[in-house]
């Protein structure tokens, strides 16, 4: 199946009236029971198993790409916080053999055709140079579906995930080539607007995206920045305007 066809909004024929319920077993908390119940009744989880994707998150990237046509054959792609590999899998199938996909995570990831996974902290000072070398040049796209471990405190969780997105954006600026794109997970809550304003300085277009595969009860959003302009490029454009 091509990743650009077969709209991911479809539930693939999973009936909503066949909801499975989980009994609270010995050693299983109520929150664990609710999580398991949600997984068992999630049509995207079932679809990922049928179609061979490593996670339901793959459909978020598929849906965003179907709308904005981010991924193209031959591109160089970096996937930050790549485990278990769903986004890398989607990227590799679209960029093809002429492209390059490198996934980075603190966790080891099971190998996958068309992707090079490395166990590394992207905050490591040597990470940008190492990834650029692995890609064979500057990146065309930096992806980040990273999320900090939830604390249960809404404001704290929001600030932590925004902090991750801001840090990943700084990393993206170090390895993106001209015209590159950055896609990252954020949470609604107000402070994400500061991130957008910051990105607008370096990218020609910045927007919020909410794919259908994001759970309806989730405050999850994605920020999409396209048309990267380096500081040198901005300075040259400003000088040309003044001439």
pLDDT in tens, 74-95: 999 999 999 999 999 999 999 9
What is the pTM (predicted TM-score) of this model?
Answer: 0.79
Measured CA to CA, the distance from residue 122 to residue 191 in angstroms comes to: 23
Catalytic residue among 33, 72, 155, 185: 185
Measured CA to CA, the distance from residue 216 to residue 222 in angstroms comes to: 14
User: What is the reported pLDDT for 12?
Assistant: 39
What's 173's domain CATH number? 3.40.50.150
Weakest mean pLDDT among 5-9, 129-133, 203-207: 5-9
Q: Does residue 45 sit in the same domain as residue 59?
A: no
Confirm whether 1 is domain-assigned: no
Measured CA to CA, the distance from residue 184 to residue 223 in angstroms comes to: 5
Residue 240 has pLDDT above 90, yes or no: no
What percent of the chain is predicted at pLDDT more than 70? 74
Number of domains within the chain = 2
Residue 117 has pLDDT above 50, yes or no: yes
Chain mean pLDDT for the chain: 82
Confirm whether 4 is domain-assigned: no
User: What is the reported pLDDT for 9?
Assistant: 37
Which domain, by its residues, includes 218? 55-235
Q: Does residue 144 sit in the same domain as residue 25?
A: no
Burial 158-195 (b: 16+ CB within 10 A, else e): bebbbebbbbbbebbbbbbeeebbbbbbbbebebbeeb
Measured CA to CA, the distance from residue 75 to residue 130 in angstroms comes to: 18
In whole angstroms, how large is the CA radius of gyration of the chain? 19
Q: What is the pLDDT of residues 55-76, one digit of tens each?
A: 999 999 999 999 999 999 999 9
Q: Does residue 60 sit in the same domain as residue 179?
A: yes
Contact 84, 55 (CB under 8 A): yes
Contact 169, 199 (CB under 8 A): yes
Q: Does residue 218 sit in the same domain as residue 203?
A: yes
Q: Strand (E) positions, the chain?
A: 76-80, 100-105, 116-119, 139-144, 176-187, 203-209, 220-228
Q: Does residue 37 sit in the same domain as residue 141?
A: no
User: What is the reported pLDDT for 172?
Assistant: 97
Residue 234 has pLDDT above 70, yes or no: no
Q: Does residue 31 sit in the same domain as residue 111?
A: no
Dihedral sign (CA 127, 80, 141, 156): negative
Reference 95, options 65, 122, 119, 67; nearest CA is 65
Three-class DSSP category at 53:
coil
Contact 43, 14 (CB under 8 A): yes
Contact 212, 9 (CB under 8 A): yes
Reference 74, options 51, 100, 56, 50; nearest CA is 100
Confirm whether 123 is domain-assigned: yes
Q: Does residue 100 sit in the same domain as residue 207?
A: yes
User: What is the reported pLDDT for 11?
Assistant: 36
Active site residue 185: yes
C-alpha dihedral over 80, 83, 85, 90, to 10 degrees? -40
């Amino acid at each position: 199946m091509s990743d650009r066809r077969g709209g991911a909004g479809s539930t693939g024929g999973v009936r909503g009236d066949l909801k499975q319920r989980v009994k609270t077993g010995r050693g299983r908390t109520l929150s664990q029971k609710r999580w398991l119940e949600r997984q068992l009744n999630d049509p995207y989880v079932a679809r990922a198993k049928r179609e061979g994707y490593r996670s339901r998150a793959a459909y978020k990237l598929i849906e965003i790409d179907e709308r904005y046509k981010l991924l193209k054959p031959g591109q160089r792609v970096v996937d930050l916080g790549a485990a278990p590999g769903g986004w890398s899998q989607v990227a590799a199938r679209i960029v093809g053999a002429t492209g390059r996909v490198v996934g980075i995570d603190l966790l080891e990831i099971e190998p996958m055709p068309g992707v090079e996974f490395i166990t590394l902290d992207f905050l490591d000072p040597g990470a940008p140079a190492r990834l650029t070398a692995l890609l064979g040049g500057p990146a065309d796209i930096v992806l980040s579906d990273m999320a900090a471990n939830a604390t249960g405190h809404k404001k704290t969780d929001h600030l932590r995930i925004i902090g991750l997105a801001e840090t990943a954006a700084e990393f993206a600026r170090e390895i993106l080539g001209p015209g590159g794109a950055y896609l990252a997970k954020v949470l609604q809550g107000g402070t994400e607007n500061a991130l957008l304003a910051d990105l607008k300085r370096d990218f020609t277009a910045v927007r919020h995206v909410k794919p259908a595969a994001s759970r309806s009860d989730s405050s999850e959003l994605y920020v999409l920045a396209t048309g990267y302009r380096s500081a040198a490029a901005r300075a040259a454009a400003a000088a040309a305007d003044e001439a």
